[in-house]
Every structure is written in structure tokens, then in C-alpha cells.
Amino acid sequence: MAKPHILIVEAKFYADLADELAAGAIEAIEAADCTWDRYDVPGALEIPAAIKFAHAGQKAHFDGYVALGCVIRGETTHYDYVCGESARGLMDLALNENLAIGNGILTVEDWDQAWARAKRDQKNKGAGAAQAALAMIGLKQSFGVE
């Protein structure tokens, strides 16, 4: 069986945070002896569409997906919509398309929380999202799901 090939889709709205999350995800993917491609989108709301494009496209095959980004609470309700809709979009893809997706979109109150969850020497949720995607790939395989 071929090594799993993972697509990392990252929202670059906060580029420095996204890069740190991606570094953790790449470390986890490579530690599992898997391959990866990396694409960026403007913000968290665009991540589900990018994954859907990749899944529907004819140019590449991906066994799993890692969604990375950060949404920091502001003064308006926009935060709630971005958090909820990006998570819903990813869950809809996982359930409706049988996709193995690790959700590493941070939803935090401030910069300190964001960095605590992004830094590779702390909680790095990028690595956690990659590990979740790899676990779901394995589960799909064990059930014989295409």
C-alpha cells in the first residue's frame, strides 16, 4: 500500500501563526512517513471549499486533509460566524464525502491563546490536526471505506 498523501490547507490571514501550525503538521506527517502538499487560502471560511476543490479535482489524490488557521475574537459577531461555519463546512465534508480531516483551526480569545496553541514547543494544534487526519485515514482503511 502506498504511503498516505495529505493535503494541508492553511488560512494565511495570520501568516506567522499559520506557518507555525503548518510546521508542526509537517513534522507529524513526515514522522509518520507520509507525503504532503500545502496550499493556502485567505481565511478560515475558505478552507472547506479548498478541500472540496481538491477532493473533486482530477489533478491529485489525497488520502487526508489538514485544515489550519486561526480565528481571534474581535468586537463583532463575525468571530462566531467564522468559527461555526468553518467547523460546519469541515464536518459536512467529513460526513458527506467520507473525508479524513484533521481540524486545526484555532478559535481563541487573544494572541496569547493563539500562540500557546501554535508554538511547536507548546500545544501545537497543527501537529494534533495532522495526527487526527492520519488516525482517520487508518480508521477508513480498517472499515474498507474509499
Q: Which three cell numbers stand for residue 100?
A: 479524513
Residue 132 marked ligand-binding: no
Residue 75 marked ligand-binding: yes
Residue 62 marked ligand-binding: no
Residues with Cβ within 8 Å of 113's Cβ and at least 6 positions away in sequence, in order, are 106
55 flagged as catalytic? no
Is the alpha carbon torsion for 50, 52, 58, 61 positive or negative? positive
Q: Report the C-alpha gap between 143 and 146 in whole angstroms.
A: 9
Residue 44 marked ligand-binding: yes
Active-site residue among 5, 55, 61, 78? Answer: 78
Residue 70 marked ligand-binding: yes
Q: Which residues are catalytic?
A: 78
Q: Residues forming the annotated binding site for 5-amino-6-(D-ribitylamino)uracil? A: 13, 44-46, 70-72, 103
Q: Residues forming the annotated binding site? A: 13, 44-46, 70-72, 75-76, 103, 117
